[in-house]
């Protein structure tokens, strides 16, 4: 049991460690939208819970965070809410298709 816990903790730590110049991408769509189509590894925090969710997972307010939704409208709301909460490096990445094209330009996703 201890080995399982250790492996899980190491896996979580590896996922949490990102290159300093690589932003965190967060899907702010609904659970149902995320279930139909998502980008593996990206957390989903609904826009209505964005401040609480981001501050819990990414307490460093200088973390580079990019939000996306279906078209970019909810992502912009997330940006505004996080800026009001003191986050300094948050941007609207647009819709999920925009993010896929940006991050996986040679993929047929």
Active site members: 69
Q: How far apart are CA 95 and CA 14, in angstroms?
A: 27
Q: How far apart are CA 50 and CA 4, in angstroms?
A: 31
CB 63 within 8 A of CB 38: no
Q: Which residues contact 50 (CB under 8 A, 6 or more apart)?
A: 26, 28, 67, 77, 78, 81, 82
Helix axis angle, 73-84 relative to 50-57, nearest 10°? 60
């Amino acid at each position: 049991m201890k080995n399982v816990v250790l492996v899980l903790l190491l896996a979580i730590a590896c996922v949490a460690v990102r290159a300093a110049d690589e932003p965190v991408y967060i899907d702010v769509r609904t659970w149902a939208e995320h279930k139909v189509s998502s980008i593996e590894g990206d957390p989903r925090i609904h826009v209505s819970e964005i401040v609480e969710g981001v501050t819990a997972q990414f307490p460093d307010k200088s973390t580079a965070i990019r939000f996306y939704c279906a078209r970019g409208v909810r992502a912009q709301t997330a940006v505004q809410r996080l800026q009001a909460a003191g986050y300094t490096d948050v941007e609207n990445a647009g819709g999920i298709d925009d993010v896929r094209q940006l991050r996986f330009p040679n993929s047929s996703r």
